[in-house]
């Protein structure tokens, strides 16, 4: 039971991390546009961009959005507090902001008083200037820690009402009173304990990166294989946003983490070529090419009389993976019926990321095709190797198709449309009708929120309803009351039961499902 509780909490934490992370694609788009406007190659093709107005706007776009990367620590503190809070999320977020300021000023004052501040260039010293204050650079770690601690005490005490003269200090203010000394203590403690921890983290990251293609391949395999558990965010978030992914000085500012570094490099005109560490974020390779090959293999392996139905469900899933990088619809279409294919999928992901490292092919590959074009094409072929990246992708598509088709046929795997496969299928007309209905007012009940609520054991059994990018994440009081068969009447792509933590996979429209479920719960109140 204890192990189950830990797994559930880690799953909740990984979901909470998504709130700050979802901001970054928009930030990256704006940085890419600003970099394109000031790119010498594009300016040469479009001379009007050489005007002071466009130059100035390009600089504004780059630096205004780089501010998000520079201040990710407080964004994580607020985002995680908000994500983990069960009630009054806005108050939890407000407290987190206050607590982070208290921590920051505590550390700076303490270091100044004890003569611990380093003079001159801070690059490589372990210190950095954050929001105008020189402190020990903990990256996003302390922001995450403050978010977790704040959410814990918020959930425990934010509903506690004090009586008499102390009534003013109840509820969320009581939480703030409890955590203020903790935040001060973190500022004092981390001044001394973080530098050696920082060295260990940095060395571990160096070991991964020094392993070259092997290290990148293992990372790629683990990032995929953890997706069914929902814990993959706990792997790639540290690599992308902390010292684990390395640190680099760019335009006089220190950036730590793979994603922070390459987004800063995109906006830096003095960067002639993106760092090789970007290969750790080559997810678009499998999103655009690998899963396309897998989907086509499943389609061609389906029984002849069922291919039209399979096409209606597989092709839209392939399109969502290619265009916007949403992979779970296609991945979960074979995960539940043929888990061996998912293991092979994870292995092939690691293998092809290793190939990128072997040939030192760098390109911005964080999302789908739209992201890929916006990020890479304006940078030309000097900063990135995007034509070679696409070439490797085509090879990956062919390999995925051949391997998946061979395994499906040789092992007689019951993927979509094969034999008596139990996965529910739709013909093209059904699918189009469903997509059209999903654009109608959610109050109409097209997601069958009643079945979801009933299957979860009813309103009184539901503690909290949230969502990540593709999954409805629900916490229930009594897991034995959950009826998976009733939940499946809402036509999800899959259901994952983890004790009190229930995950229902719906795909990219999951936010609409959450809104409708919460609306129905409010109506039932």
Distance of alpha carbon 138 from alpha carbon 127, whole angstroms: 8
Residue 468 among the catalytic residues: yes
Nearest to 362 by CA among 275, 300, 444, 244: 275
Contact 299, 293 (CB under 8 A): no
Query: Which is the catalytic residue, given 247, 256, 301, 468?
Result: 468
Residue 456's Cβ-count burial label (10 Å; 0-12, 13-18, 19+) is buried
Residues 6+ apart with CB under 8 A from 438: 446, 447, 509, 512
Q: How far is CA 509 from CA 35, 431, 467, in A?
A: 32, 14, 10
- In 3-state terms, what secondary structure has residue 398? helix
Strand runs labelled E in 448-500? 462-467, 471-476, 494-498
- Closest C-alpha to 500, from 518, 476, 516: 476
152 forms beta bridges with: none
Quote the distance between the C-alpha of residue 145 and its chain's center.
18
Structure tokens at 326: 């949403």
Sheet of 462-467: strand order equals 462-467, 471-476, 501-505, 494-498
Q: Which of 490, 469, 33, 427 is nearest to 227 (CA)?
A: 469
3-state secondary structure of 501: strand
Helix 72-84, helix 89-113: angle, nearest 10: 140
Q: What angle do CA 162, 164, 168 make, to 5 degrees?
A: 55
C-alpha dist (Å) from residue 194 to 197, 201, 205: 5, 10, 16
Supply the angle between the helices 141-157 and 72-84 in degrees, to the nearest 10. Answer: 30
> Which residues, in sequence order, are CB contacts of 179 under 8 Å at separation 6+?
95, 99, 149, 150, 153
- Per DSSP (E only), the strands in 251-331 are 253-256
- E strand map for 113-218: 127-130, 133-136
User: Could you give the residue numbers annotated as active site?
Assistant: 468
């Amino acid at each position: 039971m204890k192990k189950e509780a830990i797994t559930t909490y880690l799953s909740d934490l990984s979901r909470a991390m998504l709130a700050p992370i979802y901001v970054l694609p928009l930030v990256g788009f704006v940085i890419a546009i600003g970099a394109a406007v000031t790119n010498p190659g594009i300016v040469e093709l479009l001379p009007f961009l050489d005007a002071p107005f466009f130059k100035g706007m390009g600089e504004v776009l780059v630096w205004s959005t780089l501010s998000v990367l520079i201040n990710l620590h407080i964004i994580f503190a607020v985002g995680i507090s908000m994500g983990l809070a069960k009630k009054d999320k806005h108050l939890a977020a407000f407290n987190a902001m206050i607590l982070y300021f208290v921590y920051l000023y505590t550390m700076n004052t303490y270091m100044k008083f004890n003569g611990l501040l380093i003079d001159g260039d801070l690059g490589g010293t372990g210190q950095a200037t954050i929001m105008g204050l020189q402190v020990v650079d903990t990256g996003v770690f302390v922001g995450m820690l403050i978010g977790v601690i704040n959410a814990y005490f918020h959930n425990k005490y934010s509903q506690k009402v004090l009586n008499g003269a102390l009534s003013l200090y109840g509820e969320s203010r009581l939480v703030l009173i409890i955590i203020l000394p903790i935040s001060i203590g973190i500022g004092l403690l981390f001044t001394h304990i973080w530098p050696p921890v920082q060295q260990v983290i940095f060395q571990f990251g160096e070991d991964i990166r020094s392993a070259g293609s092997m290290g990148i391949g293992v990372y790629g395999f683990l990032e995929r294989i953890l997706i069914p558990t929902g814990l993959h965010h706990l792997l790639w978030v540290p690599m992308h946003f902390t010292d684990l992914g390395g640190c680099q000085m760019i335009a006089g500012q220190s950036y730590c983490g793979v994603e922070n570094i390459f987004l800063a490099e995109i906006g830096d005109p003095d960067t002639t070529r993106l760092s090789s560490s970007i290969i750790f974020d080559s997810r678009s390779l499998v999103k655009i090419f690998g899963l396309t090959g897998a989907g086509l293999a499943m389609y061609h392996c389906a029984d002849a009389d069922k291919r039209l139905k399979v096409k209606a469900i597989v092709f839209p899933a392939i399109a969502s993976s290619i265009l916007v990088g949403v992979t779970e619809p296609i991945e979960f279409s074979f995960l539940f019926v043929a888990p061996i294919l998912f293991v092979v999928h994870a292995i092939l992901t690691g293998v092809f990321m290793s190939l990128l490292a072997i040939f030192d092919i760098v390109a911005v590959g964080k999302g789908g095709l739209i992201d890929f074009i916006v990020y890479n094409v304006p940078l030309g072929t000097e900063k990135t190797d995007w034509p070679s990246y696409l070439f490797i992708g085509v090879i990956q598509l062919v390999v995925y198709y051949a391997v998946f088709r061979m395994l499906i046929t040789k092992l007689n795997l019951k993927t979509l449309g094969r034999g008596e496969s139990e996965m529910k299928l739709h013909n093209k007309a059904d699918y189009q009708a469903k997509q059209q209905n999903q654009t109608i007012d959610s109050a109409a009940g097209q997601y069958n929120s009643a079945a979801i609520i009933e299957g979860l054991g009813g309103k009184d059994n539901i503690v909290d309803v949230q969502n990540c990018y593709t999954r409805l994440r629900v916490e229930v009081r009594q897991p034995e009351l959950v009826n998976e068969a009733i939940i499946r009447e809402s036509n999800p792509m899959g259901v994952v039961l983890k004790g009190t933590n229930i995950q229902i996979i719906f795909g990219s429209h999951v936010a609409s499902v959450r809104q409708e479920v919460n609306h129905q719960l409010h109506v039932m109140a």
